[in-house]
Amino acid sequence: MRSIQLTAFGLDHLHDAELPTPRPGPNEVLVRMEAASLNYRDYLLAIGQLYRGVNLPIVPVSDGAGTVQEVGSAVTRFKPGDRVTTFYKSRWLAGSMRPEWEGADIGGPAEGVMRELACFDAYSLARAPAHLSSVQSATLPIAALTAWQALEQARLTTGQTVLVLGTGGVSLFALQFAKLRGARVIVLSSSDEKLARAKALGADIGINYVNDTQWGSTVYQATGGGVDVVVETVGAATLGQSLEAVRMHGFIGLVGFMSGIEATFSLTKAILKRVQLQGISVASLEMHEQMIQAIEATRLEPVLDSVFGFGQLREAFDHLVAAKHFGKIGIDFKA
């Protein structure tokens, strides 16, 4: 079967490969993969910055969707013909994450989705929303679930205000989910065009952080005392201003680290504001299934920036790294 493998770290080492057709074990599901979507962690793994436990060559990319072809003798969750997505933290079924459940992440250390056929443990899959295509469904496992978890941990409710940084996948899912909960949303971007598109999705305020370098203070003043929730997707370079923007007893969900992993910020501001700083790294299968129910009930549709073909993975990564996308980058295996 057709696949793509990462044979060494670096985007130049993504190669086509023929692999044997897999057969499902008793607890496994054979899926014909139809689509994938890219996350920043896929890029970090490909260039060798997330390599713990990863053995090369490896089939890259964590998030995918497809149709069940065959199920093992012990599988009751799915049947042939079911449409499914992968589930990134494949051992985290419910409750709090535990250290012994690490190390089975799809797309590294476990094999990823860039292959025509793949066998997964039955609990490494989730039902795809009925109204979404495979490309749309493939955007959900990491980006959507991360945004959902951040708002769940913040206990966001009607009338509160959320600040999202940028217009990538997590940020736009956070915007969409926050509006479903009746919240106000402030969006930061370096592009006035992207801010206009975010407002079309429901954003209440857009701030161009290039023109307003002290946006933390601007957000604080505009909200009369700060936002209730910050979905912090950038990291080291913005955490200080996120602390400025959040209200007393507010919540900052630490999601991303694109600007670096070592942050400097005011401890006194965090303490005196009684701010809750919460690390967010996806969520359990139980929470994923709750999110799917909400997506189906509201017929929410993910924001797709662009869709590449199966053989255009390198080009899709280049587009991701350019950081000009609005929403998710999809890969259609049929294109």
Can you read off the two tokens belonging to residue 217?
């203070």
Q: Are 151 and 192 found together in one domain?
A: yes
Per-residue pLDDT tens over the stretch 138-190: 999 999 999 999 999 999 999 999 999 999 999 999 999 999 999 999 999 99
Q: Are 90 and 106 found together in one domain?
A: yes
| Domain carrying residue 148 | 144-279
Q: Are 194 and 70 found together in one domain?
A: no
Taking 80 as the threshold, does the pLDDT of residue 52 lie above it?
Answer: no
Query: Checking DSSP bridges between strand 276-279 and strand 328-332, what pairing results, if any?
Result: unpaired
Helix residue ranges, H only, the chain: 40-46, 134-137, 145-154, 169-180, 192-200, 215-222, 239-245, 267-272, 285-298, 313-322
Q: Are 12 and 78 found together in one domain?
A: yes
63: Cα separation from own chain's centroid: 9
What is the per-residue pLDDT for 97?
86
In a domain, 288, yes or no: no
Per-residue pLDDT tens over the stretch 238-280: 899 999 999 999 999 999 776 667 777 888 888 889 999 999 9
Q: Are 191 and 151 found together in one domain?
A: yes
Q: Are 95 and 204 found together in one domain?
A: no
Contacts of 98 (CB under 8 A, 6+ apart): 92
In a domain, 295, yes or no: no
What is the per-residue pLDDT for 131?
98
What is the per-residue pLDDT for 259?
61
Distances (CA, A) of 332 to 4, 28, 82, 202: 14, 24, 18, 28
User: What's the chain's Rg over C-alpha atoms?
Assistant: 20
What is the per-residue pLDDT for 268?
85
Q: Are 203 and 235 found together in one domain?
A: yes
Q: Are 306 and 190 found together in one domain?
A: no
- This prediction's pTM: 0.94
Taking 80 as the threshold, does the pLDDT of residue 51 lie above it?
Answer: no
Q: What is the CATH number of the domain that holds 203?
A: 3.40.50.720
Q: Are 165 and 271 found together in one domain?
A: yes
As a whole number of angstroms, the distance between CA 235 and CA 241 comes to: 11
Q: Are 180 and 122 found together in one domain?
A: no
Q: Are 114 and 198 found together in one domain?
A: no
In the chain, the number of structural domains is 2
Per-residue pLDDT tens over the stretch 198-218: 999 999 999 999 999 999 999
Q: What is the CATH number of the domain that holds 306?
A: 3.90.180.10
Select from 156, 170, 210 the least CA-distant residue to 188. 210
Residue 119: strand pairing partners: 30
